[in-house]
Amino acid sequence: MISEDSRLTPSPPSGLGTTLHHVSPLPVPPLIKPDDVRYYLTLLRKRKWLILSVILAVTTTTALYISSLPSIYKATAVLRLEPKESTFLEEGRGSIYYSYNNQYDFSNTQVKLLSNPQLMRQVVVNLNLEHNAAFLGAAKSPNLFSSIRQIFAGKKATPSPQASAAAGEAADNADGSPAETTARLEPYVTALLANLTVEAQENSHLVTVSVTDTNPAIALEVIDTLTKIFVASENDNQTKGSQAAAETLGRQLADIQSKIKELQDQRLDYLKTHNLPLEKGEGRNLNAERLGILSSQLLAAENERKNFEAIYQSAKVAPDLSSIPQVRDSEEIQAMRRDIHQLERKRALLIQIYTPEWPEVKKVDSEIGQLRKDIDQSAKEIVNSLKSKLDASVGRESKLREAYYREHVAANGQSQDEIAVTNLSQQIETSKQIYNTLFQRQKEIEVNSIDKSNHVSIATTPVLPTQPVGPARLRAVLAGFLISVIAGLGLALLANQFDLTLRSAEDVANHISLPTMALIPVAAGNGRSSIMQKSFFQDKESECTALTVTRDVYSPSAEAYRHLRTSLLFASPGQAPRTILVTSAHPSEGKTTIAINTAVTFAQTGAQVLILDCDLRRPQIHSHFKISNSDGLTNYLSGLQDIDSLLRTHNEYPNLKLMTSGPMPTNPSDFLGSDEMYNLLEVLKRNFAHIIIDSPPASFTDASILSTLVDGVVIVVNSKRGSRIAVKRAKQRLQEVGAHVLGVVLNYADIESDQYYSSYYPPYQKNENQEAAKEA
């Protein structure tokens, strides 16, 4: 059994309190969700260099490209496009002429014609632009950006003036066809259309025409020639159009007159040959009138036959003849029924005095029987009369139907003849309407031809431009800047989606839902990087490599471990956890270094601390303290009961005791899950204030077994390469067995980028703090 000496008794609380009076627990970062503004602010701080790099690269490239573009000049002219008033004749009012115009259609048509490629070809030919070296001058010395743009755009490059001149001379020497000429001028036409702008001014007859070019003189010549050719062409087209329209209308009127005369003759001949009246009037179609009368009579006969048929059928199926309405309503039968009623009353009086065999009573019975036979006979006669009426109605209907069909055939023949005549009449009327319309249009053209004014003219002549209008360099740079900002933010979001590491306390809170116990800085007290620090720890020739982290008590690393100690003391309400298991999701996360320095910081308070190496797969505690691992935990678990012989003491920290792992067994899980392991921890808890246990990663069963025997578990995460998925899986595995996970320790963390913890690890000035400690 372990001895109860003064070395293993817990130190008084006052010592711990005096040492920790300046240490406050780490703040708990709030849970930041993706829909929170702070989430994006944190993302901006984390990815600021990526965003700034994209902004700088895109903005600089845009500025260099836009500055290499030549200046652009614009020449402008204003055209007056007044639609020609069309005069039309309205008949029926004394041949009054009216005028109208359609401003909207006319203006739209002229705007489209100003962008006609044929007009552009005329301008190119008149100005000889294909042989003008100043036109399309930007193509002489293409810069790097234009070359790259042509490559990615995949468009045909505009020919240089020299190449165009050579092609033009070759074409002049040969008899080129119109198709070849059009193909040769196509690059220049395309360039003119690309630099042409036509805008109709609202609520006016004015249209603004502008041409841009890098040479102001070329822009002036093009716009001047363009407007003059367009005005001359439009005014000439109006005159030629009126003459051609008048000639065409004259020919059409003559053709329609001949057609009307021919149709009238055909109609007259048809009326004569089919014995139809030449004029319309009443009594003209006797067949149709007779057919109407027969149709009415036939409908009446059908209704009468249906009525008799319904009455007769009802009488046939009646169970009693007296229920037939005709029988029931017969006056003769009603009179006989009244007689029967009187005789029945008389018999009733007699039967009160005499017996049924009395002669008078028998006489009355005989009369009643005879009346009833008469009623039955009358009812049968009524039914027979219904049958006779039905037969007569059927015969009358049949005769009327035969007469109707005969008259219907005759009427159809006459109707077909009238339809043919009507078609001829409609053709005549349609031809007359067409003739009247064309005749009216001919008169309108004659009236409109009297007006010889030009309806398309130049309102404002162009002048030589002196100030460039483009390119909009500042706007392009601003647009590039905005695009770069959006692209940088998009790349930052994309990089954040693919980044599965836990780099800050916010990442731990958002993805793991655990508090961050401490952030261990990237650099050690000597200022080396994390890689150099790790290499320094693994140097077997250095003394107590893990202890060098907290040896300088004024370093940020030592301060971080003191905060870890404070976080552990306040991790559970009521009482601080005494047995603490240090594990990780993956190997080489730095958990052994964290466990050693955590034990050292607890020992610095004067408390009795034990660090227990339970990593029976890859033990590291003995290598950091330069001691033998021949005896340790596995010896006790194998049956050795002398705990004192397994405890080691460190000279620099007398309160710190060590128990190495001992020889590595083949079945570590069975050793750690035995009753001896539970009994060992119970004995050690009675003699040490704090027990820090170094275990294998949580991916092994060893960590899950040990987590059920301790007061709390700390998960160490390497902020440079630790995966959130692996840490979350380790947390779930530990919580499934009932472990109390205290939180996460971020190792190799960049404290300056953490907004919550950067203020808790200020750069210490060693000399000033030492002097302050002495004065205290």
Dist. CA 75–CA 217, nearest whole Å: 9
In the predicted structure, residue 21 carries a pLDDT above the cut 50: no
User: pLDDT tens for residues 234-262?
Assistant: 877 766 766 677 778 778 888 888 888 88
User: pLDDT tens for residues 250-298?
Assistant: 788 888 888 888 888 887 787 777 766 666 544 455 666 777 787 888 7
Dist. CA 269–CA 680, nearest whole Å: 134
Question: What does the pLDDT average to over 322-330?
Answer: 69
| Coil, strand or helix at 754 | coil
Angle of helix 359-448 relative to helix 331-353, nearest 10 degrees, comes to 150
Strand extents, DSSP E, 153-259: 196-200, 206-213
Give the pLDDT band (50/70/90) at residue 422.
confident
Give the pLDDT band (50/70/90) at residue 5.
very low
Count of residues in the chain: 776
Question: What does the pLDDT average to over 36-45?
Answer: 72
Kindly give the residue spans of alpha helices, DSSP state H, lying in 449-582: 473-498, 505-507, 530-537, 548-551, 556-569
Amino acid identity, position 626: K
For residue 506, give the nearest of 656, 300, 719 by alpha carbon.
719
In the predicted structure, residue 385 carries a pLDDT above the cut 90: no
Q: Identify the weakest region by mean pLDDT among 136-145, 383-392, 487-496.
A: 136-145
Give the pLDDT band (50/70/90) at residue 755.
low
Give the pLDDT band (50/70/90) at residue 19.
very low
Element (H, E) at 79: strand 73-81
Dist. CA 608–CA 617, nearest whole Å: 27
Question: What does the pLDDT average to over 315-333?
Answer: 69
Question: What does the pLDDT average to over 460-471?
Answer: 89
Element (H, E) at 366: helix 359-448
User: pLDDT tens for residues 574-610?
Assistant: 788 999 999 998 888 889 999 999 999 999 888 999 9
- Can you name the residues that pair with 582 across neighbouring β-strands? 694, 714
Question: Rounded to 10 degrees, what is the CA torsion of 182, 183, 188, 191?
Answer: 110
Q: What is the DSSP string of 561-610?
A: HHHHHHHHHTSSSSS--SEEEEEESSSSSSHHHHHHHHHHHHHTTT--EE
My answer on whether omega of the bond before 471 falls inside 30° of 0, hence cis, is yes
CATH, range 500-775: 3.40.50.300
Question: What does the pLDDT average to over 367-374?
Answer: 80
Residue ranges per structural domain of the chain: 48-68+473-496, 73-247+452-460, 286-443, 500-775
Give the pLDDT band (50/70/90) at residue 760.
low
Dist. CA 58–CA 477, nearest whole Å: 9
In the predicted structure, residue 553 carries a pLDDT above the cut 90: no
In the predicted structure, residue 693 carries a pLDDT above the cut 90: yes
In the predicted structure, residue 95 carries a pLDDT above the cut 50: no
Q: Rounded to 5 degrees, what angle do the CA atoms 274, 276, 277 make?
A: 155
Amino acid identity, position 494: L
Give the pLDDT band (50/70/90) at residue 35.
low
Q: What is the DSSP string of 612-676?
A: EE--SSS--HHHHHT---SSSHHHHHTT---SGGG-EE-SS-TTEEEE---SPPS-HHHHHTSHH
Q: Identify the weakest region by mean pLDDT among 315-329, 347-361, 757-771.
A: 757-771
Amino acid identity, position 413: G
What is the pairing mode between strands 609-613 and 656-659?
Answer: parallel
pLDDT > 90 fraction of the chain, expressed in percent and rounded: 16
User: pLDDT tens for residues 717-744?
Assistant: 988 877 788 888 999 999 999 999 999 9
pLDDT value, residue 349? 83
Higher pLDDT residue, 628 or 381?
A: 628
Give the pLDDT band (50/70/90) at residue 709.
very high
pLDDT value, residue 614? 93
409 CB-side CA count, 13 A: 5
Q: Identify the weakest region by mean pLDDT among 101-115, 259-273, 310-324.
A: 310-324
User: pLDDT tens for residues 333-370?
Assistant: 778 778 888 888 888 888 888 788 888 878 888 888 88
Q: Rounded to 5 degrees, what angle do the CA atoms 654, 657, 662 make?
A: 145
Q: What is the DSSP string of 224-252?
A: HHHHHHHHHHHHHHHHHHHHHHHHHHHHH
In the predicted structure, residue 694 carries a pLDDT above the cut 90: yes
Dist. CA 352–CA 360, nearest whole Å: 13
Q: Identify the weakest region by mean pLDDT among 143-147, 172-176, 237-241.
A: 172-176
pLDDT value, residue 23? 40
Dist. CA 656–CA 608, nearest whole Å: 6
Amino acid identity, position 577: P
Question: What does the pLDDT average to over 307-315?
Answer: 73
Token pair, residue 521, equals 């800085």
